[in-house]
Amino acid sequence: MKAMIKICGLSTPEAVDRAAELGADMAGFIFFEKSPRHVTVSTAAGLAQQARRRGLKTVAVTVDMDDSGLDEIVAQMKPDWLQLHGGESPERAAELKARFGLPVMKAFAIREAADLARIAPYQGIADRFLFDAKPPKGSDLPGGNGVSFDWRLLAKLDEAASYMLSGGLTKDNIGEALAISGAPGVDVSSGVESAPGIKDLSMMDGFVQAVRDADKIRSQEYVK
């Protein structure tokens, strides 16, 4: 089984190129001003065009954004996906899906089993779920905190569930994270950075290689 890979918080042409060369599936661009990964709409539009040309699906990462902000992003960046990383209700997610005709990835902050129950009203609305850790106390960021949660919680999810695992993933823990969770996809941001917001190309290499190594182990286990 080949895990889908999303590399998030890209902000330079070099990092977009490397994500494509490495065979990542999705490139995420952050629209959240407090984030060290925040990009302007015009920067994201240029990088997304480059990413699309190189075969990556592009994701606009937004947090409880209003209609006018979203209109501008969708018109200029033309994302393939909308990631909703705030407290967007099922009704809001459905409204945005219909408004833009785009698939929606809804993020959930997970600490305990009860947090996973919150996905129920989004079934049939969200095209994919994204499971991230709850932000640490005092953090200004709803995501991109480099914090993990207990991956065992995901092992009980329906095998057909479309989701990505995120939160504190690195080349050193991704093998274990995939083995424990069985996640069909992974999303990384700070785990491939040398400093907040600065993507490190060799860390990107290491992360993708570690995912592919884990894929091999998973497919051998499947054959057994």
Ligand X SMILES: O=C(O)c1ccccc1N[C@@H]1O[C@H](COP(=O)(O)O)[C@@H](O)[C@H]1O
- Pick between residue 102 and residue 169 the one whose CB is nearest to ligand X: 169
| Minimum CB distance to ligand X, residue 167 (Å) | 5
| Minimum CB distance to ligand X, residue 188 (Å) | 5
| Minimum CB distance to ligand X, residue 206 (Å) | 14
| Minimum CB distance to ligand X, residue 106 (Å) | 11
90-100 vs 67-77: helix crossing angle, rounded to 10: 40
Q: Which residues bind ligand X (CB under 6 A)?
A: 8-9, 28, 30, 32, 35, 37, 61, 63, 85, 130, 132, 141-146, 166-169, 187-191
Taking the C-alpha atoms of residue 162 and residue 22, their distance in angstroms, rounded to an integer, is 23
**Residues of 34-52 as b/e, b for ≥16 C-beta within 10 angstroms?**
ebbbbbebeebbebbebbb
Q: What type of residue sits at position 9?
A: G
- Pick between residue 45 and residue 192 the one whose CB is nearest to ligand X: 192
DSSP codes of every residue in 138-169: T-S-SS-S-----GGGGGGS-TT--EEEESS-
Instruction: For residue 9, list its beta bridge partners.
Output: none
Taking the C-alpha atoms of residue 32 and residue 139, their distance in angstroms, rounded to an integer, is 14
Taking the C-alpha atoms of residue 35 and residue 196, their distance in angstroms, rounded to an integer, is 9
| Minimum CB distance to ligand X, residue 207 (Å) | 10
